[in-house]
Structure 1
């Protein structure tokens, strides 16, 4: 799949010229350019931040706060975005980029660009068609989608709605019999990759939830817990949190999952080169650099910040995926330059889904695909193979 630089610039300019929203953005937030209480049509929106603003207007405030917020003081949530400003480009101009190719082959599936819809729970909170709309949007953008074990619809129902490649995220820190049952269901539904998440089974405190009065004694503190077993969850009971924290991860689970599924197995939640080394030594087929959008422990580094060290350790042996704060095509290009194979989108997919359903998800992916193509062309990179660390410079804190 290829796109010319001229086509990329033309498409982006057409979106811009058609939009009445060409105002000065402050802090990358589109709120100031929207008329009060007005929700414009989809074709007026020119970046992901504007879709977030539509979602903010459509969703009940407690639900918006729950999705937008991070744990604690939201230090990690902010750092995920802020660290991108420390990375600058060193473009090459005298390069032929008349024909561009963003395509990537991942575990036997060819995608238009290295941008995937990442996993998140309970899409039914945001749209009546839930994950079924999400995967249709991903398919329309020639992308792939990773489905959470806490989806609103069953993996079988979701898979029946699309031909796009689906991956399934299981939890590595729950009991093996549950994991095996869920993985078998994913395999039967046609999922092509199994993702094991680590480090997100113990809850962080989402203070926005508390302040917006969403967290009540009847609300689950951990989304995968049985509500009948948790009473008076605020303030949390340390003994109860230990009880429902899940078993310690054992590396032999990787071999077990491979045996159950006969599929590639990747690990999400890797934030250090040491853990990356352990994962590869134990047979993992890919890594996802993730701090879960700043929703586990506050104070960890930004994902883009730790990516170079992990990429150095991996040294091309397995693909590296990353999420956390990616909102623009230039962000994605920086991630690719620092060693990522592809980027997963979390909140942006939810904003698109909440705003316009499947069409909103497609819009998010198409916007970022076009922005990435434009950034690559202006940097002198005609395909993904041409992107390396020489493209960027990192200013440390």
Structure 2
């Protein structure tokens, strides 16, 4: 049985990995399987983290970094740091205050948070707890009318951007949570939307191609959506450079390079491997963010060196939420920001704008040193 969350941060929690180690004590076994699991054999889940760890920094010495900072500007808001809380569904599974605690921590620490369509708190109630900018993560609701109704709710509630998730029209098989017999309890129910009604299938028809995919968005739907709202639309789930260019053509204001934390398509490439190609395709036209396996301040430096404007974290802040609520999430953000500051100072980077691929030890850099 899960223990009650902490009210004081233990002194031996000094990094994101420590929160993961603690969190299992405070999360029910089936919910833990849901949180930690990935699609099929969980290959992409593993390679996301491994890829960041394998890329090495190449520091420069004796640089003037006094009075440096980690500030960045995204979609009109100045943030104290480039660490965004990614959308995670049904957070009351992990702490009684759920999304309310997460967005409180994000705002207090000078950052932004993305609230999931599948939140366990209404999107309007979440904004009352916010102390910083909130973005609303949007799942296509099977058609334009239902999707637009949700968008208008987000606009009216004061959200600053829409994060349209485009990589999960069909969810991957999550073996770990299936074995654990997971189902969302009523206390953490998804309160913003109703379950989609799938078409009635005739014998021989495919659940995927005839049931789910007719309800999924396409590029012309993104173009339509961009014309219906004043909010910037950020497409989350882009891995291919050609899709990055199509996103710009469709009116996207930003991109998140993401493979859904390894939860959808197993064997998809890790986000680090996709990032540089997407950045090159975008060519500065819109901001590019990245998630998937970000666990350290050094990972953030690597992401920005590859061209990202900011990063998103998912599982790490849920581990902190489960351990100690808003206090835990705020503490985790502080730890990551401090790690980022130290990594910047030790590589010779005064601001985020100073970070470039020069600080990565790659074959191309080594050969041209």
TM-score (norm 1): 0.83
Please name the residue that 2:367 is paired with.
Answer: none
- State the distance in 1 between where 2:241 and 2:301 align: 22
Please name the residue that 2:21 is paired with.
Answer: 53
Change (3 A) 1:360 1:269: same
List runs of 5+ in structure 2 lacking aligned partners. Answer: 365-369
Equivalent residues of 2:98, 2:121 under 8 A apart? yes
Please name the residue that 1:226 is paired with.
Answer: 195
1:42 equivalenced with 2:9 (yes/no):
yes
Change (3 A) 1:228 1:269: closer
1:212 equivalenced with 2:180 (yes/no):
yes
Q: CA deviation at 1:252?
A: 3.0
Equivalent residues of 1:131, 1:151 under 8 A apart? yes
Equivalent residues of 1:173, 1:246 under 8 A apart? no
- State the distance in 1 between where 2:295 and 2:53 align: 13
Q: Give the alignment partner of residue 344 of structure 2, picking from 376, 381, 385.
A: 376
Please name the residue that 2:239 is paired with.
Answer: 271
1:261 equivalenced with 2:229 (yes/no):
yes
List runs of 5+ in structure 1 lacking aligned partners. Answer: 1-36, 231-236
Change (3 A) 1:263 1:58: same
Q: CA deviation at 1:179?
A: 1.0
TM-score (norm 2): 0.89
Q: CA deviation at 1:245?
A: 4.0
1:74 equivalenced with 2:49 (yes/no):
no
Q: Give the alignment partner of residue 179 of structure 1, picking from 136, 144, 147.
A: 147
Equivalent residues of 1:308, 1:338 under 8 A apart? yes
Please name the residue that 2:121 is paired with.
Answer: 153
1:125 equivalenced with 2:93 (yes/no):
yes
Please name the residue that 2:166 is paired with.
Answer: 198
Counterparts of 1:89-104 in structure 2, within 5 Å, are 89-104=57-72
Equivalent residues of 1:102, 1:373 under 8 A apart? yes
Q: CA deviation at 1:188?
A: 0.5
Please name the residue that 2:264 is paired with.
Answer: 296
SS state at 1:299 partner: coil
Please name the residue that 1:32 is paired with.
Answer: none
SS state at 2:228 partner: helix
- State the distance in 2 between where 1:253 and 1:229 align: 19
Counterparts of 1:227-376 in structure 2, within 5 Å, are 239-242=206-209, 243-376=211-344
- State the distance in 2 between where 1:225 and 1:73 align: 30
Q: CA deviation at 1:40?
A: 9.7
Q: Deviations over 1:60-86 (max 9, x none)?
A: 111111101111111000000111233
Please name the residue that 1:20 is paired with.
Answer: none
Q: Deviations over 1:200-241 (max 9, x none)?
A: 12121111112223269xxx9xx97739979xxxxxx98334
Q: CA deviation at 1:253?
A: 2.5
- State the distance in 1 between where 2:235 and 2:170 align: 17
Q: Deviations over 1:22-53 (max 9, x none)?
A: xxxxxxxxxxxxxxx99894141100111112
Alignment root-mean-square deviation, CA: 2.6
Change (3 A) 1:203 1:250: closer
- State the distance in 2 between where 1:253 and 1:137 align: 34
- State the distance in 2 between where 1:178 and 1:40 align: 41
Count of residue pairs the alignment pairs up: 350
- State the distance in 1 between where 2:214 and 2:321 align: 31
- State the distance in 2 between where 1:395 and 1:356 align: 42
More displaced 10-residue stretch of structure 1: 40-49 or 68-77? 40-49
Equivalent residues of 2:87, 2:116 under 8 A apart? yes
Counterparts of 1:104-115 in structure 2, within 5 Å, are 104-115=72-83
